[in-house]
Chains A and B, each alone.
Chain A
Amino acid sequence: MDSSRTLLILRRPPYDSGRNKSAVDMALALTVFDIPVDMLFLGDGVWQLLPDQEVKVTPAKSMQKTLASFPLYDVDQLYAEAEALEQRNLNAASLPHSVQAIPRQDLGEFCSSFRQVLVF
């Protein structure tokens, strides 16, 4: 892992607060300055990865189109806590984006490989 990278941890479900949008804004702002960014969806944050979130029934925007646009901004890799997916009956393979599941026991080492870790 390139040690200059920044990790953003998203731990809230969709529509929960402005934190998720802040994380996206932060990701795009960092990439504008060529600072590589990865995103880890932790705990309830993995709910954001579900496809087919019907934004028309909520006043908020869905993460889906935003996440789909991330490769354009060189945010290529999304990570998720494997146990968080399992506990919620979600399967990483069925999620639309290239989500790599990481077992809980490896998360400490994973986070240590980043220069900076920001929690949203």
Chain B
Amino acid sequence: MVLHTVNQNSNLLDDCLTVAAPGDSLLLLQNGVYALQTRQDELQTASTSGIALYVLSDDLKARGLSSAGDDTIQSADYEDFVDLVVAADRVIAWH
């Protein structure tokens, strides 16, 4: 399993999703969390294809956003982030 981290809401996310495979995890962080607001279709497709989606809750809160009510994506704190890194065979940091 590969953990992908994405820190911008741009075509960086598209490039990441080009490489991400079913069974991988994707963590949105920093400005990547804006994808929750503007890239719902892509995220829904990724979720349906078997990619586990996470968003770093502190980065979301810092921007006045919330993932409440969005069941395609799981909120993650820094401890969860560490767990994801440890569980992954490798991490690809898209930045």
Contact = CB atoms under 8 A, between A and B. Distances in A.
Contacts, number: 43
Given A43-B11, A44-B11, A116-B90, A111 B18 contact: no
A104 B18 contact: yes
Interface residues of B, number: 17
Contacts of B20: 108
Nearest to A81: B18
B24 interface: yes
A38 B19 CA distance: 16
Interface in B41-88: none
Secondary structure at the B interface, as helix, strand, loop or mixed, is mixed
B19 A42 contact: yes
Contacts of A43: 11, 14-15, 18
Contacts of A108: 2, 19-22, 24
B94 A107 contact: no
A28 interface: no
Most chain A C-beta atoms within 10 Å of own C-beta, residue among B2, B15, B24, B94: B15
B95 A119 contact: yes
